[in-house]
Amino acid sequence: MRSGRKTDDVPRKRVDARTERWREHRLKVREEFVDAAFRALDKFGPEVSMGDIAKEAGAAKPKLYRHFEDKTDLYNAIVDRVRDMLWEQLISGVDLTNDSAHELVRRGAAEYALMVSAHPNVFRFMLHSHFAQQSDDSERALQSARQSAKRAADLFAELAADKVVDVDSVELVIYSIFGAVGSATDWWLGANRLKTQPMPIEKFVAYLAETIAALTAANARLNGIVIDTDLPLHLAFSGE
């Protein structure tokens, strides 16, 4: 009977393979547009337009809109790229098992400041983008920050698997750190652009490290936890 032929499955498999290739192609093109967005931001500043980005990518603007739902979709892709770049740079230079908590904070602050220095207009764009002015877009940006805080809190919980960790409390302090670092970055970029004697990067890194340590210590005290920053992260926290 023909209804039982195995060849009936062939067209479906061919379509699946084609769909997968198309999906991979779309992801590759999106990445190329994000690359172009970085170059356009470095060149034109935070008020860059979709047309500027498309031109930098060597493409027509309609093609850009075929690969991103809207301006906010591109904005979120740029934010995700910065997050991934910072994470990769940090992880490649530290030992999460053996480096002290103090060193991890200092290294994280240093890598962040170096990235801000390398792409100041990218960070100005993320902090003040006209791409994300509407209330719905602002809410999506906040949601992205909350999700990043949740991922970081879950990672910390994994590192401290042998201890009782209040993930919600860790998530709150990480979210607070994001806000404090963002505000400090906004000030630093403005000061570096407008003042004749801007704050040097070394002092900015020290400020960020102290701010992160202070917020973490305050949260720990509220939860009855003692932190020894000279110990590795998974050993640094103990109950009072």
Q: Mean pLDDT in the chain?
A: 81
For residue 118, the model assigns a pLDDT of 93
The CATH class, in words, for 1-68 is mainly alpha
**pLDDT tens for residues 128-177?**
876 755 545 555 555 666 666 666 667 666 655 555 567 777 788 888 88
Q: What is the mean pLDDT of residues 77-98?
A: 85
Q: Name the residue with tokens 């060849």.
A: 7
pLDDT tops 80 at residue 114: yes
Residues 6+ apart with CB under 8 A from 172: 149, 219
Highest mean pLDDT among 27-31, 146-150, 168-172, 223-227: 27-31
For residue 135, the model assigns a pLDDT of 46
Measured distance CA(20)–CA(33) in Å, rounded: 20
Measured distance CA(113)–CA(81) in Å, rounded: 16
- Where do the domains of the chain lie? 1-68, 71-239
The CATH class, in words, for 71-239 is mainly alpha
Higher pLDDT, 10 or 42: 42
Higher pLDDT, 23 or 68: 68
In 3D, which of 68, 59, 54, 111 has the Cα closest to residue 87?
111
Measured distance CA(153)–CA(169) in Å, rounded: 9
In 3D, which of 199, 175, 168 has the Cα closest to residue 185?
199
CA atoms within 13 A on the CB side of 126: 28
